[in-house]
Amino acid sequence: MRIAGKGQGAGAKPVNFTFNGRHLMGRAGETLAAALLANDIHLVARSFKYHRPRGILTAGSEEPNALVTLGAGPVQDPNQRATTQELYEGLEARSQNCWPSVEHDVMAVNNLAAPFLGAGFYYKTFMWPAAFWEKLYEPMIRRAAGLGALSGLADTDRYEKAYGFCDLLVVGAGPAGVMAALTAGRAGADVLLLEEDIRLGGRLLAEEEEIDGKPAQIWLQEAEVELQQLDNVRIMRRTAVTGVYDHGTYGALERVGHHLPRQHSLKGSQRPRECFWRIVAKHCILAAGAIERPVAFRNNDRPGIMMAGAVRAYLNRWGVTPGERVTLFANNDDAHRTARDLVAAGVHLAAVIDSRHDAPDSDLYPVMKGAQVCNTSGSKRLESITVRSVRGEERIQSDCLAMSGGWNPSLHLTCHLNARPSWRRELLAFVPQTGAVPGMRAVGACNGSFSTHAALSEGAAAAVAVLAELGLGAIAAVHLPEAEDQPYRIAPLWAVPGKGRAWLDFQNDVTVKDVTQAADENFRSVEHMKRYTTQGMATDQGKNSNVAALAVLADVTGRSIPETGTTTFRPPFVPVAIGAMGAGAADQGFKPQRFVPSHVVAEERGASQVEVGLWYRAAYFPKPGETNWRQACDREIMSVRQSVGVCDVSTLGKIDIQGPDAAKLLDFVYTNTFSTLRQGRVRYGLMLREDGFVMDDGTCARLGDTHYVMTTTTAAAGEVMAHLEFITQVLHPEWDLRLTSVTEHWAQFAIAGPKSRALLNDLLDQPLTPGDWPFMACGAVTLGGIKGRLFRISFSGEEAYELALPACYGDSLFRTLLERAEALGGGAYGMEALNVLRIEKGFVTHAEINGTVTAQDLGMQGMMSQKKDFIGKAMAQRPGLMAPDRMQLVGLKPIGAVQELSAGAHLFDPEAPVERIQDQGYVTSVGFSPLLGHMIALGFLKQGAARIGDEIRLVDHMRGIDALCQVVEPVFFDPEGERMRG
Amino acid sequence: MRIHCPLCGARDRREFSYKGAALVRPLAAAEPEAWHAYVNLRENPAGPLAELWYHEMGCGSWLQVTRDTVNHSVLEVVLARDTALGAGA
Amino acid sequence: MRFSGWRVLKEGLTGNRGWGPQWRDPEPKREYDVVIIGGGGHGLATAYYLAAEHGITNIAVLEKGYLGGGNVGRNTTIVRANYYLPGNSEFYSHSLRLWEGLEQELNYNAMMSQRGMINLFHNDGQRDAIVRRGNAIINQGDDAELLDRDAVRRLVPYLNFDNNRFPIMGGLLQRRAGTARHDAVAWGFARGADMRGVDLIQNCEVTGIDVEGGRVTGVQTARGPIRAKKVALAAAGRSSQVAALAGLTLPIESHVLQAFVTEGIKPLVDHVVTFAEGHLYISQSDKGGLVFGSYLDFYSSYAARGNLPMVEHTMETCLAMVPAISKARLLRSWGGIMDMTPDGSPIIDHSPIAGLYLNCGWCYGGFKATPGSGNAYAHLIATDRPHGPAAKFRLDRFSTGHGLMDEEGTGAQHNLH
């Protein structure tokens, strides 16, 4: 109910919204919770396990009860806190975890079964008969899972990520944070002030008090104006710090568009719905305030039972009273402010119950001292409370009970780097450990200093200390505004003794009994209790309930609270949408896209694209009339074998190596020798990891006396570059050489086939002189005056060349090459043809160099130089890597009318059973050879080199292939290499 | 996590890749045990550890970083080329 | 006390007051036949199987914190048997079979849920690797099915099939894979061991390992010395430190692996789904939270917490694969300390010291191994002979090079997994 003239939003414009389909009106700038209370709506949600009616408990992001679903379709947003969601025109909210409605929820039947659903009940039951678990019990449990629902559709909202840097990060803009920001800002520090709320002020927004002799709201406004005028201070509202990470790194979530009508944060709109910030701060002042904690008593979970501080917030900030006959139950002085403010606002205060015998008196209302609320009634809204005192029990009509068990400093962020908080007996609360996070200082309520004066003075003092460390010291005396400085008086009250269920964790339905039972069953460690009962595992992560649950556990186990310990606070402080932390990765944004120089031409020609790492490469180039990829592939293969084919190989890693010691590096990184390579020649090289297994292969060309260019496989380009840098910087810093990755600088095309030389001679400025360009030659060429490089190397077994020009000429060169090739009866070929061509020749790729093979496995033991040290040499000599029974590379060809061979199939002796212990090897690569007219394969076979000519059975259960093969040498075509040398 | 590259200044962890403990590579002729120790065995201390990082997305320097594995505090960063890890190589 | 339907009913009707402790908190004795260092999943399972299958009950499990407080309580709860290399293949197969009978064996509902796991692939190379894996699984006697894109879409229609940087080409389905309630696994083994007379001793850090003449004789603890005929290390995450107490250096680096859970949402993800391009594995718990993880943070750490780059990478991978969970909100993130071996596979073996046994190096995969590891380790400790399915988890494979198990093919040296 609204109170005329009350609240800071009085006069704000009206806003229409709906709740569970009802059309309602609220005010601009207020939260959904405030608007619901203003409309006398108290039943908002259902609890997780027992589906008990739930109302609004708090006025902040710690809210465990009033979680609602907003919107529908792709932007449907479950589990939004009504207490932080700002109203906007047209907002649609509805209750969740209830069916058919929040008023009448069928699953409330669970509440009746509660005696059987206590702590740990799952673990003791649902086991008989065994088969029923998967078929009946688990599906049943699963159907009840969760709170709100996602739409199942791809989110259409826009999200962003950003970086921020500052000298001083101030977390929280209550009196402590504002004072810290003012002090540091005035001295010129680069300050970032983050506030989770819409407005600066923190608790001051909810209180009626004075600062510097004027209403706190006026002081706040003046402070805000001053902060805004300081260029070196940035204020971020609606922004919560979510996590603390190493070395001054903080995560923060800015809710940019939650307060705007839905269309304003969709993809393509001006602003995102949320922005996730990565902030790097030299210093941090934590001024996060405190969270009030409930008291456990029988039926303390009914709608209408709220935190005392929240009642004050609704009353003072939004001019709303949550009830017409309000009662108060507390164990501390602070809560009495609620009584005072209610009376001042003219709300009927039915009773003030204080558990302390020495509770303060008031002129405005009577105080029931040494009394406790021991029960409540009312099904969907509080109707009455039962108070137990020396006079016995009495029932008091009340539709709102404001409760307070004291305040817990919001020290969560100080624990994110594993520090544990310390217990302060006089506060009955945990406070942050000094130095818990390097560079962070906790001030004000989050440091256990609850008065406004203490907040202001600690905020200022911390800022002065930070300024000194920043070298911005020499601050003139800070003017400290006058403010209330009441002592914080509290007496222990965690759970009111008595029968029935007294809730600790409202959302997860964890009661005092559950904690007691857990302790009885020897789940006495606080972590065991948490995990056994699910206490503190709800969406508020125990912000409301953990300390009380701990106190109950301490009590039943006869230990003190500090002895009992705490569970660990983990990031994030407030839940963060995956969409925000992963912003940018949806759709094509997950990884960069790399395109080859011929990409546009390939697209124009309708080539099918495949991803190779981050690259896109053409798989094949279809021609009119071809109905499947195999036809295109076969044609491309035959054109290479019979005339000339052109293929973009620019993705191969290219590393330029120059310097007097370049050859030393190559000798050290390759198993074979490169210092003996002549200028103008190319050599194939094999490199190992230090563990002795093959890391990569490729060619390396010597372009000059001290100049080499190394080629790596596409996949290993980055890894090899890091490896070379490691050798030259860490192992051999004395070597004089430089490495440059030039992968992107050159467009490189393979020109392969018997007519390749004819094509080139027609194209190059100078035709190739026959004697100067033998197999494995390389050198400079010019093409239309453009300087390029030519390498006579072959991955197809044909006479072949790779021509490289600066990447900017790639598109033009590829077009020209295709035109010439087609004129000669050839054309472009893609990855599919390339793959078959190399299988026919037994050349390996990373399908064979799969990380677990040795040079010997590949039949390349001859490339392991005996004369020099190289990376991996020592470990390659381990007996297990030299063992004769290892699997070795072989070729496989089908016997009889076999149609299919498949990669990934395993190999067995024809007579042996198909089971693991009989496994003889596996197939790595297959292709259809149009030349041979059948499938061919490469694979690894135990002692394969010695089994050439044997029959072997290839079994692929996955694809239903079972084929008899003959083991052959891993080369199917031109074994002597005459064609490529010719 | 941030690492202070001697050439570039303090940079975010995502600019760096990690190699692990900074160890001296054995001589080519060293016993198999020495190679086993170099490649496989690790002291793996819970505390300060000298390790190798590569400023892959920055200047390309290999760094020797002394870092506490318990609280992640970085105690020292030097260019790896100024160490003697290649003594054996 | 045995759990039964009758018992649940009776306790429910009488206020759940009669359950009694699920395990005792005994004072440590001065001597045991076997001392197990580490009261996590593997240590507790080892104690259970020593008692249940080998009749050895004079055992202490020494835990420096609380039972199940290590990685068994901080993982993504996935259970599977889809390895393909000899050694791993038979071991995880054996472990999965033990999982399937675990509830009845322990009389404790660990909520093993065989909801099926789908490993997605995105290109020909990944497909062939997954086919090789699938065939190995069948050859081992376990289940695997190759799914094409349409079949994947029928099972998990909420994935990104329309505009994916790495389009989904298909998947490998293992129907018997799934998840279990991780804490309950530890508790079930703890209760089972305790019922058979094993002493579970919490808050009892081991500070020394006593070795005389090359043979282990006992341990020093925060609660005094304890003599033992055999000492078994099961302290993943701290293996190097514990081994160092006996002067051993292990082929292990400790790394932090983060895991994540969202707020509870109504069931959407019914299977375990993995995404090869970004290394994501995700499932939804019976409470409604999406549980998922990705890579290691990739630096040595004992901090049990991670940093933002891998957090963000994981969320990015979620969005790329399952854009429908964009509005699920991350509720909690945490880190576990992984024993990383050079080849990414574990060690269950004798140590060079007589009577001292090693169980370590579980890398990413310790949870699903829990029953198999306990079973095999118990066999080794009881008989001094390796247990068949775990016989290849040898310590000396790194020095000899025989039987290295590099499932990912990224290399048999540190920091590549």
Question: Residue C397 burial by CB count (10 A; 0-12/13-18/19+): exposed, middle or buried?
Answer: buried
Of B38, B39, B72, the CB nearest to A246: B72
Arithmetic mean of pLDDT, A629-641: 98
Question: What is the token pair recorded at A587?
Answer: 């759709």
Q: How confident is the model at residue B88 (pLDDT cuts 50, 70, 90)?
A: low
Contacts of C125 in chain A (CB under 8 A): 846-847
Provide the 3-class DSSP secondary structure of residue A171. strand
Contacts of B14 in chain C (CB under 8 A): 309
Cβ distance of A730 and B81 shorter than 8 Å: yes
Length of chain C: 417
Q: Is the pLDDT of residue B86 over 80?
A: no
* Options 3.20.20.140, 3.30.2270.10, 3.10.300.10, 2.60.40.420; CATH of B2-25+49-87: 3.30.2270.10
Arithmetic mean of pLDDT, C250-265: 97
Arithmetic mean of pLDDT, C113-137: 97
Q: How far is B73 from chain A (nearest CA, A)?
A: 7
Task: Determine what percent of chain A is predicted with pLDDT higher than 70.
Answer: 100
d(CA A577, CA A727): 43
| Proportion of chain C in helix, strand, coil states, percent, rounded to 5 | 30, 25, 40
Amino acid at A691: D
Contacts of B33 in chain C (CB under 8 A): 399
Largest CA distance in chain B: 41
Cβ distance of B73 and A248 shorter than 8 Å: no
d(CA A320, CA A934): 83
Please give the order of strands across the beta sheet that includes A608-612.
A594-595, A615-620, A608-612
Is the pLDDT higher at C276 or at A34? A34
Task: Determine what percent of chain A is predicted with pLDDT higher than 90.
Answer: 93
Q: Which other chains touch chain B, taking contact as 3+ CB pairs less than 8 Å apart?
A: A, C
Cβ distance of C250 and B42 shorter than 8 Å: yes
Testing the interface with C: which of B16, B40, B49, B63 to mutate, by most C Cβ within 10 A?
B40
Interface check A248 vs B, CB under 8 A = yes
Of C241, C298, C301, the CB nearest to B72: C301
Arithmetic mean of pLDDT, A295-316: 98
Interface check A729 vs B, CB under 8 A = yes
Arithmetic mean of pLDDT, A744-752: 98
Q: How confident is the model at residue A10 (pLDDT cuts 50, 70, 90)?
A: confident
Q: How far is A169 from chain C (nearest CA, A)?
A: 18
Q: How confident is the model at residue A478 (pLDDT cuts 50, 70, 90)?
A: confident
| Per-residue model confidence (pLDDT) at position A475 | 67
Q: How high is the mean pLDDT of chain A?
A: 96
Q: Is the pLDDT of residue A165 over 90?
A: yes
d(CA A725, CA B56): 10
Q: Is the pLDDT of residue A474 over 70?
A: no
| Per-residue model confidence (pLDDT) at position C278 | 84
Question: What is the token pair recorded at A28?
Answer: 């601009």
Q: Is the pLDDT of residue A644 over 80?
A: yes
Testing the interface with C: which of A49, A150, A501, A882 to mutate, by most C Cβ within 10 A?
A150
**Which residue in B has a C-alpha nearest to residue C416's C-alpha?**
B19
Contacts of A68 in chain C (CB under 8 A): none
Cβ distance of A247 and B74 shorter than 8 Å: yes
Q: Give the list of residues 6+ apart from residue C91 with CB closer than 8 angstroms, or none.
A: C83, C369, C372, C376, C389, C390, C392, C393
Cβ distance of C411 and A691 shorter than 8 Å: yes
Of B2, B56, B85, the CB nearest to A722: B56
d(CA B22, CA A633): 49
Q: How far is C131 from chain B (nearest CA, A)?
A: 31
Contacts of B83 in chain A (CB under 8 A): 730
Q: Which other chains touch chain C, taking contact as 3+ CB pairs less than 8 Å apart?
A: A, B
Testing the interface with B: which of A163, A244, A247, A737 to mutate, by most B Cβ within 10 A?
A247
Q: Contacts from A79-83 at CB under 8 Å and sequence distance 24+?
A: A79/A147, A79/A148, A79/A539, A79/A575, A79/C263, A79/C264, A79/C265, A79/C329, A81/A33, A82/A31, A82/A32, A82/A33, A82/A36, A82/A44, A82/A56, A83/A31, A83/A32, A83/A33, A83/A56, A83/A58, A83/A59, A83/A310
**Which positions 129-148 of A are in contact with C (Cβ < 8 Å)?**
130, 133-134, 138, 141-143, 145-148
| Per-residue model confidence (pLDDT) at position A476 | 64
Question: Residue A267 burial by CB count (10 A; 0-12/13-18/19+): exposed, middle or buried?
Answer: middle
Question: What is the token pair recorded at C79?
Answer: 């259970």
Cβ distance of B61 and A729 shorter than 8 Å: yes
Q: How far is B80 from chain A (nearest CA, A)?
A: 5
Q: Is the pLDDT of residue A597 over 70?
A: yes
Of A578, A612, A880, the CB nearest to C315: A578
Cβ distance of C254 and B17 shorter than 8 Å: no
Cβ distance of A725 and B1 shorter than 8 Å: no
Of A730, A875, A878, the CB nearest to B80: A730
Question: Domains, chain C, ranges and CATH?
Answer: 28-109+179-251+341-417 (3.50.50.60), 110-178+253-340 (3.30.9.10)
Q: In the beta sheet, which residues pair with residue A580?
A: none
Of C190, C156, C161, which is closest to residue C172 (Cα–Cα)?
C156
pLDDT tens digits, one per residue of A813-828: 999 999 999 999 999 9
Task: Determine what percent of chain C is predicted with pLDDT higher than 90.
Answer: 93
d(CA C76, CA C234): 20
Cβ distance of C327 and A692 shorter than 8 Å: no
| Per-residue model confidence (pLDDT) at position B87 | 65
pLDDT tens digits, one per residue of A75-116: 999 999 999 999 999 999 999 999 999 999 999 999 988 888
pLDDT tens digits, one per residue of A950-977: 999 999 999 999 999 999 999 999 999 9
pLDDT tens digits, one per residue of A676-715: 999 999 999 999 999 999 999 999 999 999 999 999 999 9
pLDDT tens digits, one per residue of A549-587: 999 999 999 999 999 998 889 999 999 999 999 999 998
| Per-residue model confidence (pLDDT) at position A261 | 92
**Which positions 28-87 of B are in contact with C (Cβ < 8 Å)?**
32-33, 36-37, 39-46, 49, 51, 67, 69-72
d(CA C355, CA C373): 18
**Which positions 699-718 of A are in contact with B (Cβ < 8 Å)?**
718
d(CA A121, CA C12): 10
Provide the 3-class DSSP secondary structure of residue A523. coil
| Per-residue model confidence (pLDDT) at position B85 | 82
**Which residue in C has a C-alpha nearest to residue B46's C-alpha?**
C302
| Per-residue model confidence (pLDDT) at position A460 | 97
d(CA A110, CA A50): 5
Contacts of B38 in chain A (CB under 8 A): 690
Arithmetic mean of pLDDT, A372-389: 97
Cβ distance of B49 and C300 shorter than 8 Å: yes
Of A554, A503, A545, which is closest to residue A526 (Cα–Cα)?
A554
Cβ distance of A418 and B83 shorter than 8 Å: no
Contacts of C251 in chain B (CB under 8 A): 40-42
Testing the interface with C: which of B2, B42, B75 to mutate, by most C Cβ within 10 A?
B42
Contacts of B18 in chain A (CB under 8 A): none
Arithmetic mean of pLDDT, A603-624: 96
Instruction: Give the β-pairing of A348-354 and A325-330.
Output: parallel
Cβ distance of C251 and B17 shorter than 8 Å: no
Of A243, A585, A880, the CB nearest to C400: A880
Q: Is the pLDDT of residue B89 over 60?
A: no
Cβ distance of B42 and C252 shorter than 8 Å: yes
Q: Is the pLDDT of residue C128 over 90?
A: yes
CA distances from B12 to A245, A381, A802, B54, C9 (A): 11, 52, 40, 12, 57
d(CA C130, CA C267): 28
d(CA B68, CA B50): 9
Cβ distance of A725 and B62 shorter than 8 Å: yes
| Per-residue model confidence (pLDDT) at position A477 | 73
Arithmetic mean of pLDDT, A616-643: 97
| Per-residue model confidence (pLDDT) at position A608 | 95
Of B74, B82, B85, the CB nearest to A731: B85
Is the pLDDT higher at B89 or at A679? A679
- The residue written with tokens 């094999």 in the block is A686
Type and span of the H or E element at A555: helix A546-557
| Per-residue model confidence (pLDDT) at position A458 | 98
Interface check A735 vs C, CB under 8 A = no
Cβ distance of B46 and C250 shorter than 8 Å: no
